[in-house]
Structure 1
């Protein structure tokens, strides 16, 4: 049954990770994360002060039937490692997005978070297709897509304006509910 309504708050786990709903108390760590040039470059939502962090969190904690956004935290100590979301939820289709803090990069955090949220989207929301797009120069995101089982489908020319204000060609990857799970 395809997604057709409000997404209830959810908490998920992946090896070493907890994915939980955002809290307004996350504002200081969100502000610190967006101070990272890599996060700022690839995310169009600029968060430069406490008010901006609070606004960013309000958009992710409010009732919205077109998205689910989760904080990705260390399962042991609760430290914020990143974010993962399913957005543009329409019927059987969605898009996945994510970012990781500098301390979390190179540890498979994004891959594990994307993989578990993708499986949840297929199993619980009845999604059939989830797309993952990233700027072509963002090679790390291409590796996340591949490792999370998202097949490369093509290039979208100058399809999105990123946080640095430039439009980039994007790689389009996708997973179908009928695809085999990614290899571990």
Structure 2
């Protein structure tokens, strides 16, 4: 192959957009940024994750393993590792003023080759009740469609988790039915889940 033909081949080669490139989002009262290695050494963040694991709503509907500082450190490292492996993009949701932890939003591939991804999110108690989960999920959803090449994005939550259902609805994820006893939650029981989904070609909700 000549130099000119090699250049032409490079120019016409398809670009793999299905790569999680680091991004940050300014929501005014909060910022979203990728979890970083330095976060594993931040005692305030680790302690906030320990508190999150003990919160009754999180422990039931979105249990995390950060029951002490060592476990929280491993949890942070796993979130950063998802970025490094290209399997997931986890964003710390932080207070824009003092950097206190508000929560987490994760977008992960379920079938990268086919452009299928799953959205997950949690908020600590002090951050609830002001639409922050909706704003954070909307930001990461748009990013996933616009820059990552997601074709279909799903949210699955326990039928009893009405707060999560509201977030999915407000972010334009259409309800597609009930998955019967599809996931074992923090109480040890299998619960039915609502399945919501958005396609890249779906219209965006007004206000997003």
TM category, shorter: over 0.9
**Structure 1 or 2: larger helix share?**
2
CA spacing shift, 1:132–1:3, aligned 2, 3 Å: farther
In 1, the alpha carbon distance for the partners of 2:188 and 2:63 equals 8
Secondary structure, aligned partner of 2:57: helix
Q: Does 1:17 align with 2:30?
A: yes
Q: Does 1:85 align with 2:106?
A: yes
Selected match of 1:169 from 168, 184, 192: 192
2:8 is aligned to none
Q: Does 1:51 align with 2:38?
A: no
CA spacing shift, 1:14–1:173, aligned 2, 3 Å: same
Q: Which runs of 5+ in 1 are unaligned?
A: none
1:182 is aligned to 205
TM-score (norm 1): 0.92
Could you list the per-position Cα deviations for residues 73-123 of structure 1 after superposition, in whole angstroms to 9, with x for gaps in the alignment?
Answer: 122332211110101351311000000010111111110010000000001
RCO comparison, higher one (Cα < 8 Å, 6+): 1
Q: Which runs of 5+ in 2 are unaligned?
A: 1-14
1:123 is aligned to 146
How many angstroms does 1:133 deviate by?
Answer: 0.5
The structure with the largest alpha-carbon Rg is: 2
**Structure 1 or 2: larger strand share?**
1
Secondary structure, aligned partner of 2:122: strand
Equivalenced residue count is 183
CA RMSD across the alignment: 1.6
TM-score (norm 2): 0.82
Could you list the per-position Cα deviations for residues 123-158 of structure 1 after superposition, in whole angstroms to 9, with x for gaps in the alignment?
Answer: 110111100000000011100100111110110001
In 2, the alpha carbon distance for the partners of 1:44 and 1:2 equals 33
- Alignment of structure 1 residues 32-71 onto 2, 5 Å: 32-62=51-81, 63-71=84-92
58-67 vs 11-20, greater mean Cα deviation: 11-20
